[in-house]
């Protein structure tokens, strides 16, 4: 079983933004950076433009759950930052899950190598 940590420090996010590669779709932007470790670190970023704290926290919970359910298909040793886009405020769990998985396939960070 894999265990992923969450990203908390600003420097970790900044490193992923500056050095990582980004992939985007309607609901989210995903930044991926190989951290050289054995665990994945997942960071979730949601600005106040998306909505109030209830809306932002809901987005974070949906992303966390979508990642948790599919954690075993992700390669290890990655820093992954998920950034909400404006449309994400109206998205349901399946929209977020599908977005995350399709971008993971585009980024080729899944064990099967992509879609």
Each residue of 52-102: pLDDT tens digit?
999 999 999 999 999 999 988 988 889 999 999 999 999 999 999 999 999
By C-alpha distance, which of 82, 40, 77 is closest to 61?
82
Q: Residue 6 — pLDDT band, cuts 50, 70, 90? A: confident
Reduced to 3 states (helix: H, G, I; strand: E, B; else coil), residue 79 is strand
Structural domain harbouring 53: 5-107
- Is the residue at 56 inside a domain? yes
Q: Do the bridges between strand 41-45 and strand 21-24 make them parallel or antiparallel, or are there none, so unpaired?
A: unpaired
Residue 114 has pLDDT above 60, yes or no: no
- The predicted model scores a pTM of 0.91
Residue 2 has pLDDT above 80, yes or no: no
- Is the residue at 22 inside a domain? yes
Return the pLDDT at 82: 95
- Is the residue at 94 inside a domain? yes
- Is the residue at 112 inside a domain? no
């Amino acid at each position: 079983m894999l265990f992923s940590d969450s990203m908390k420090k600003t420097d970790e996010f900044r490193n992923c933004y500056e050095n990582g590669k980004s992939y985007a779709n309607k609901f989210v932007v995903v930044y991926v950076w190989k951290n050289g470790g054995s665990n994945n670190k997942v960071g979730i970023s949601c600005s106040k433009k998306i909505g109030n704290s209830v809306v932002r926290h809901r987005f974070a919970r949906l992303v966390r759950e979508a990642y948790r359910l599919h954690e075993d298909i992700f390669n290890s040793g990655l820093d992954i930052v998920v950034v909400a886009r404006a449309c994400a405020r109206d998205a349901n769990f399946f929209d977020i899950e599908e977005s995350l998985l399709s971008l993971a396939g585009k980024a080729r960070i899944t064990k099967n190598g992509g879609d």
